[in-house]
Structure 1
Amino acid sequence: MSLTNTRQLLASPPLWAVCLLALVWLLPGLFGSEPWKPDGAYTFGLISHISNTGDWVVPTLAGEPFMEKPPLYFITAALLNNALGGWLLAPVDAMRLATGLYIGLAMLGIALAARELFGRGYGRWAVIILLGCLGFPVRAHQLITDTALFAGIAWATYGLVLAPRRPRLAGVLLGAGVAVALLSKGLIGPGVVGLTALLLPALSPAYRTRRHALTLLIALLVFLPLPALWMSALYQRSPELFHTWWWDNNFGRFFGTNHLGPRATHGFYFKLLPWYALPAWPLVLYGAWCYFRDKQLLRLVAPGVFFIIGFSVLSAASDARELYGMPLLVPLSLLAVAGVRETATLRVPGRVLWALIALLVLGLLLLGGYALATGAPAKVYAVVSRRFGGWQPHWVPLAWVAAGLLLLGLYALWQQAPTQRLSGGLWRWAVLLAGIWGMLGTVYLPALDEQMAYRLPFRMLRHPLHLALKDGCVASLRLGEPQRALLSHYGRAQTLRLETQPAAGQCRWLLVQSENGWAPHFSQPLQPQLVVARPGDDKERYLLYALPQPLAQMGLLLN
């Protein structure tokens, strides 16, 4: 389906520069921080369980089954932790390599799909556009299963694009991508891909052939074994847990019958994509108009149908988060390449303006980082320290060495900008965004980590909790999933939740997560033995109570 014969080869940065941009964009933020709530923290707990026990069938969080997501990402991260954690990398950094692995695989799949659609030289533009999307950097560096889903969707989309030309290979890629998507996040991703594959023959003659049927048959055969292996093992272990995953965390979440997840607001994804997918969506609109004008719109049918179905399914779901929109960047990045065309040469004033903007933005970020390290200039530190409560100025040499290497890479990349106005602007935008993210992931990361991590408060709880556990058990109230995972890691302790475990009523110790000053009321006055919080966090507190008698006899009042 290549369009090489209908479009002239676009002047592009060299392949080595695109690979360097991907590394400069990807590496900062993968290393040097603790697990952050919400998603990274509980994912860390699930990975730690597999790493410590080898049990890949039932994801377990702080001693309790956690059936929200299948285990592929957790298994991958656990293998990397067992191979590299402790001797080469900190455990959480070794685990986060799984994120880098899956995002790298996704970039490759997207590049190959764009090359198949548009011809040689265009695959790199899909990656450049993806790296320039404003909503992508934060999630693409986190310890979350959605990165594996993203990779699965990317390769499944490549399979759909490749199907008219190489049906057998396309079937293998499509089936493997869908299997990765299901084993990463559940049924919705595979459902969207499946609907797209079935609808394509009705819309395009290129898919209305026996070759496409062969692609789907091969895809089904490739897809089935691994999901069937995990699902059968889970069902044999516990039919109840299988039902919890199959119904509650797939259909129940979609229809809202189990009241899990944040409720969707009207038009959530319409409001999200204008900033989240910038600059992809303006290029999509321009490219679609150009292809419609040239009567070639059907050439974009595979990513176009995937986006429409994916957007519709997400919009129909009862819960919504910006994280759920990340897979939509796969078809949008591909469709946006259609809008990258030859334009007039960017003249010297335009190039100077771009350079001044980059110098101003990166210079301000460096000044803020210097203020965090030294406390000077005082006015600058007063501004940046508002965001980093509890931070005490000090140098972190490794972060500044990494920032220096990053700036050298950015300078080399800036020199490779194409001369055309549009393509040169896209390249400079992606390089600048990589620089902004790189500064946040190096010189700002220690201060961010100090504020976001639970290491300090939960290590303060370790000794009191161990003493309490010698007295029997410790109950917990309102302790969230991320906090339970990190308490198990830093505090080396697990609690019995009052919300789910009747045995908690026999405990004489109670750990409470307090939000905005909330505290439980007992039938008799009682003060906490210990109160801890993250540095600079004046909203979230952890209260440890020593009780004169078991909780079941204390008359705990929650209102």
Structure 2
Amino acid sequence: MPAHPEHPRFKGIPLPPSGWTLAVLLALYIFTGLVGHDPWKNDDALTIGIVHDIVANGNWLTPGLAGRPYPDAPLYYWVAAASSHVFSWLLPVHAGARLASGLCTLLALAFILLAARELHGREAAPAAPLLLAGSIGFLFHAHEAQPMLAALTAHTAAYWGLFLLGRKPVAGACYFGSALGLGFLANGLPPMLPLVPLAAFVVWRSEKRQQAALLLVGSLLLAAALGGAWLIALLANSPDYLAAFWRSESTQLHASAQPLVNLWGLVMMLPWYAWPAFPLAGWTLWAKRRQFTTRPLALPVVAFLMVLLGVSYCFGARSAPALLLLPPLVLLAVPGITSLRRGAANAFDWFGMITFSVFAGVVWVAWCATVFGWPERLARQASRLEPGFIGHLSIPAVGLALFGTAVWCWLIATSPRSPMRGIMHWMAGLTLFWLLTATLLMPWVDHGKTYRPVSASLARALPETRNCIASTNVADSILASLDYFDGIRTLTTRSEAGLDCDWLLMHGLPRDKGAIAAGGWRKVWEGGRPSDRRDAEKLQLYRRDVRKAP
């Protein structure tokens, strides 16, 4: 007898989700956590430092960092600087700049939806943005100031353009060329190179091969025109910056001395980084192995292999560039959702519901420990990890967290049976976990990650009238934070001007303490974040009281 559809007592979200339902869920995931915390170390602080330099000094053509040139593709920084300016009446620069990441993420999810429609049909397409947003590795970078998100957006738009070539050739070629050119402007040449052999593969498989080849040439010319406009402006106004930019690009193209090691590292990263798209893509290949050469499978497989080779050779086994591996895996995983056997689908569904229900409970208990001091053992552990943190009750944050928890309970109780239910619950559970973290635990996390108190303490240790400050072994992200918070800028010790400075900022202990003493340097300040317990993790400030004889 045919199975009757399940009718829940209370009507839930129809599956697959579409329209405003899908848009609201994805928007909640995207924009939660973009504001409400300081710049953090690594890419977030580095990017915000460059945006701050553009906003403060107007260096739109040649972005810089803490007073130094920083040769890099500028498009993401332009968008971030523009968004920080537009919302300056409401948000600080660092929060306004992160809205650019929200825009890139929103566009990437929209383009992966459109690409999945062309490849797998309208009914299965909503699984693609749910899979992309639900990938664990994507969560780490979607809520920071991250230029690689612009490259990810360019990749998803390029896939849509390529898959559209058979149905709307001219439009598809224009979309592909625009994505390629804007992707170069956003992140340089290396992230875009894997798309070229994929385009050649699409042309080779095309029924109208000659027409497709001409359109591909036209799209490459369009990409060259978009990217070349900035290069021509640099050549006319700042040829030194242009030369430095090309040196940086060349270094990336020849960066990897061990591509096979990097390749293996990326492959080992994918099972957790691309979960759940990775196992679902594997199931697709197994379940549809007799259709391996068909368009819906062959194109994502070739795309994944090209990107895997490009990322491993140019970037290594790093988390941010690995974002580019997610779209082809997602496109390959979409058919796997509808072809899962009932037992496996139910197991995946229950795994997601139980996992994120437990995670939500853990976040609530952790919040109680940081705010009310209960449970006592957990409160002591939280205080040990982030010394000096004092929790405060925020009614709006708690209200939003309670609302999100209630919606989660309603969703898992009312969702109808559907092949999409497992991935819908996974995505909604991940959104709940991030929402609770951002509303309840963000003050505790921010207390340990921000360099604002460190920068303020360093500023107090420096006199208003002083000679220049040289720096050694200080990461660009820390230099960006010091400049952003208190306008503290340094010169590199490798420059002639830096050698003449009377102040020296160092990250960690000096390698040769004897050379420091012989140079007349005396330590006058030491500081670090609450979690920086070792001397090797702290900043050291030295003052030269006696100059060496020339």
Q: Go from structure 1 to structure 2 and tell me whether the alpha carbon gap of 1:526 and 1:255 turns closer, same or farther (over 3 Å shift).
A: closer
Q: Which of 185, 188, 196 is residue 186 of structure 1 equivalent to?
A: 188
Cα offsets for 1:160-180 (capped at 9, x unmatched): 111111011111110111122
Distance in structure 2 (CA, Å) of the matches to 1:59 and 1:413: 46
Which amino acid is 1:443 matched to? L
Q: Which residues in structure 2 correspond to 1:19-418 (within 5 Å)?
A: 19-67=23-71, 69-85=72-88, 87-202=89-204, 204-206=205-207, 208-246=208-246, 248-256=247-255, 265=262, 267-294=264-291, 297-317=294-314, 319-341=316-338, 343-344=341-342, 355-415=353-413, 417-418=415-416
Where does residue 477 of structure 1 map in the other structure? 472
The alignment partner of 1:442 has SS state of helix
Cα offsets for 1:433-452 (capped at 9, x unmatched): 22222222221111111111
Cα offsets for 1:275-326 (capped at 9, x unmatched): 1111112221222334332576333333221111111222233733121110
TM-score normalised by structure 1 residue count: 0.88
Which amino acid is 1:55 matched to? N
Identical pairs, percent: 27
Moved more, 503-512 or 320-329: 503-512
Q: Go from structure 1 to structure 2 and tell me whether the alpha carbon gap of 1:295 and 1:347 turns closer, same or farther (over 3 Å shift).
A: closer
Shift of 1:263: 11
Cα offsets for 1:506-541 (capped at 9, x unmatched): 222222222599967321775422222112321322
Q: Which residues in structure 2 correspond to 1:514-553 (within 5 Å)?
A: 514=508, 521-523=516-518, 527-539=522-534, 540-550=537-547, 553=548
Distance in structure 2 (CA, Å) of the matches to 1:465 and 1:255: 42
Shift of 1:399: 3.1
TM-score normalised by structure 2 residue count: 0.89
Distance in structure 2 (CA, Å) of the matches to 1:98 and 1:347: 36
Moved more, 328-337 or 532-541: 532-541
- Is the Cα contact below 8 Å between 2:105 and 2:149 reproduced in 1? yes
Q: Go from structure 1 to structure 2 and tell me whether the alpha carbon gap of 1:320 and 1:515 turns closer, same or farther (over 3 Å shift).
A: farther
Distance in structure 2 (CA, Å) of the matches to 1:502 and 1:262: 37
Moved more, 266-275 or 70-79: 266-275
For structure 1, the 5+ residue unaligned runs are 1-9
The alignment partner of 1:151 has SS state of helix
Distance in structure 1 (CA, Å) of the matches to 2:449 and 2:128: 33
Where does residue 491 of structure 1 map in the other structure? 486
The alignment partner of 1:543 has SS state of strand
Cα offsets for 1:216-239 (capped at 9, x unmatched): 144234323331111112223333
Shift of 1:345: 8.6
Which amino acid is 2:527 matched to? V
Distance in structure 2 (CA, Å) of the matches to 1:281 and 1:39: 26
Shift of 1:383: 3.6
For structure 2, the 5+ residue unaligned runs are 1-13
Shift of 1:352: 7.5
Which amino acid is 1:230 matched to? W
Distance in structure 1 (CA, Å) of the matches to 2:23 and 2:143: 17
Number of matched residues? 533
Shift of 1:53: 2.5
Shift of 1:45: 1.1
Cα offsets for 1:423-463 (capped at 9, x unmatched): 32222122112222222222111111111100001012223
The alignment partner of 2:506 has SS state of strand
Where does residue 505 of structure 2 map in the other structure? 511
Distance in structure 1 (CA, Å) of the matches to 2:202 and 2:73: 29
The alignment partner of 1:340 has SS state of helix
Q: Go from structure 1 to structure 2 and tell me whether the alpha carbon gap of 1:306 and 1:50 turns closer, same or farther (over 3 Å shift).
A: same
Shift of 1:88: 0.9
Q: CA RMSD in A?
A: 2.9
Distance in structure 2 (CA, Å) of the matches to 1:262 and 1:384: 40
The alignment partner of 1:105 has SS state of helix
Cα offsets for 1:386-419 (capped at 9, x unmatched): 4434422333444323323432443454356341
- Is the Cα contact below 8 Å between 1:390 and 1:451 reproduced in 2? no
Distance in structure 2 (CA, Å) of the matches to 1:244 and 1:529: 36
Shift of 1:11: 5.1
Distance in structure 1 (CA, Å) of the matches to 2:504 and 2:116: 56
Distance in structure 2 (CA, Å) of the matches to 1:383 and 1:40: 27
Cα offsets for 1:200-221 (capped at 9, x unmatched): 333x244x52342243144234
Cα offsets for 1:171-196 (capped at 9, x unmatched): 11101111221111111222111121
Which amino acid is 1:507 matched to? C
Distance in structure 1 (CA, Å) of the matches to 2:149 and 2:468: 37
Cα offsets for 1:247-299 (capped at 9, x unmatched): x3223123238x9x999646111111111111112221222334332576333
Cα offsets for 1:95-146 (capped at 9, x unmatched): 1000000000000000011011111122210011112211110111110101
Q: Is 1:502–2:496 an aligned residue pair? A: yes
Which amino acid is 2:448 matched to? Q
Distance in structure 2 (CA, Å) of the matches to 1:350 and 1:65: 49
Distance in structure 1 (CA, Å) of the matches to 2:512 and 2:86: 43
